[in-house]
Amino acid sequence: MPKLNPQQKAAAQYINGPLLVLAGAGSGKTSVITRKISWLIRDYGIPPRNIVAVTFTNKAAREMKTRVADLMDGQHSKELQISTFHSFGLKILREHLEQIGYRPGFSLYDGEDSQALLSKLLRGQYSGKNNPAEAVRYQISMWKNNLISPAEAPLAAGGESIQDVAARVYGEYERHLQAYNAMDLDDLILKPVRLFQNQPEILEEWRRRVRYLLVDEYQDTNLCQYELVKLLAGNRGMLTVVGDDDQSIYTWRGAHPENLKQLQQDFPLLKVVKLEQNYRSTGRILKAANALIANNPHICE
């Protein structure tokens, strides 16, 4: 296993408070996360069941889990909680269905299911070819990702036609999901956030269970995902997030690279470590890339 450079080692071994690791592509950020998890277990005695690491794709989660298992010689691998945001949200919801008004065996609607339901709700107002269900589904998804409720949607719509349509049907869409004992994909993050906001005793239970939280590709979090992270971390701030403010790929679905700066405001004791050594690209490529991103407004100073 390659040794960590001084910056990587500093990031991996720091657990005295919230930590932001600014890491570009090829800088070894996955190594930092996986080494940190192994050190949390081996050197600091935190049980693997009390460590949660979240990322954005199943592939990234599997890779991270495999690498940690290799570092631990296969020990504790079954107890590791490394998953996507949505899988982690689903785990929370399955334990608290009654508290959110759902029954066991609920349905999970994908994009097509949600669009079909919205098309049905809009059918009396629009013909088949003119039915704006797809655009409405996208707008409602964006509102959920930005923590905007059906009651707040009319004000958020701002007089734009498709947003006004979405605002009118948003509440009805939610009522139908509840009646069908169903959720959409955005609910897997939104409903845990609302659960924690409305029932502090459940939030405290999860804070006791999640003794350390790690987030990969943090620049791709939306407001709802960030709120989930902030709620779980609480005042203890036992949190490490790794992000590259020049590589956000999910802005089209609500990602907020600005969350990197917001983190510094919400966690005043935040320590920032920059991984500046690149192990993939040549000096010429790096020089050209740095020139291109020099004026990026999301860069954290």
Tell me what pLDDT residue 23 has.
83
Question: Under DSSP, is residue 23 helix (H, G, I), strand (E, B) or coil?
Answer: strand
Token readout for 77 is 């691998």
263-291 pLDDT, tens digit per residue, is: 989 999 999 999 976 655 445 544 544 44
| Burial of 6 (C-beta count, 10 Å sphere; 0-12/13-18/19+) | exposed
As a whole number, mean pLDDT of residues 117-130 equals: 86
pLDDT band for 255, please (50, 70, 90 cuts): low
pLDDT at position 79 is 84
Backbone angles phi, psi at 212, to 5 degrees: -150, 135
pLDDT score of 58 more than 50: yes
The gap from C-alpha 81 to its chain's centroid, in whole angstroms, comes to: 15
Secondary structure of residue 66 in the 3-state scheme: helix
In angstroms, the CA 142 to CA 116 distance is 18
pLDDT at position 246 over 80: no
User: Which carries the bigger pLDDT value, residue 80 or residue 212?
Assistant: 212
Give me the pLDDT at residue 301, please.
Answer: 43
Over residues 79-85, the mean pLDDT reads: 92
Instruction: Report the candidate in 211, 210, 229 with the shortest Cα–Cα distance to residue 219.
Output: 229
Using the predicted structure, report yes or no on whether residue 247 has a pLDDT greater than 80: no
Confidence of residue 86 (pLDDT cuts 50, 70, 90): very high
pTM: 0.87
Predicted confidence band of residue 199 (pLDDT cuts 50, 70, 90):
very high
CA distance 178 to 196: 19
- Distances 72 to 5, 41, 62, 76, 214 between C-alpha atoms, Å: 20, 9, 15, 8, 18
b/e code 245-281 from CB counts within 10 Å (16+ = b): bbebebeeebbbbbbbbebeeebeebbebebeebeee
pLDDT of residue 290: 47
Predicted confidence band of residue 133 (pLDDT cuts 50, 70, 90): very high
- Segment 4-36, tens digit of pLDDT: 899 999 999 999 999 999 987 667 788 899 999
Residue 22: which H helix or E strand, with range? strand 19-23
Question: Is pLDDT at 157 greater than 60 in this prediction?
Answer: yes
Q: How confident is the model at residue 300 (pLDDT cuts 50, 70, 90)?
A: very low
